[in-house]
Amino acid sequence: MRNIVFSYLLLPLFAGLSLTANAASIPQAANAPLTAQQAGASEGSPKIDLNSADAQTLQKHLEGIGKAKAEAIVAHREASGPFASVDELLEVKGIGSTLLERNRDKVRVE
């Protein structure tokens, strides 16, 4: 009986140590250098002009933008005129602040 109680007390201790060891290694992975694809997406790739890009280009290069949202961006531009700033994307149905922030460094307005 004493061995069973003792093992039940040690099991959470060892499990907790295992989780602590894994959690301690996560920040090191977060500080890892960017891969070539990640670095190219944020630094080297040209920004897409919202006033001249077609729906297919928007869909291909922007995160979270599918066919319907890309077409909605183009339709909004045609109905309301050219975008004056990147923030005007928030006026397009289906595009919220999270989606805009995810793609802010990929788009420009000229």
**Do 70 and 94 have their domain in common?**
yes
Residues in the chain: 110
In 1-110, beta strands by DSSP E: 48-49, 107-108
Note down the domain range covering 1.
Answer: 1-32
Overall pTM > 0.75: no
The H or E element containing residue 10 is helix 2-30
> pLDDT digits over 50-96, tens only?
999 999 999 999 999 999 999 999 999 999 999 999 999 999 999 99
- Residue 80 sits in the same domain as residue 67: yes
Claim to verify: residue 58 and residue 72 sit in the same structural domain? yes
Positive or negative torsion for Cα 96, 108, 42, 37? positive
Kindly state the tokens that stand for 27.
């920040």
17 and 45 co-located in one domain: no
d(CA 21, CA 16): 9
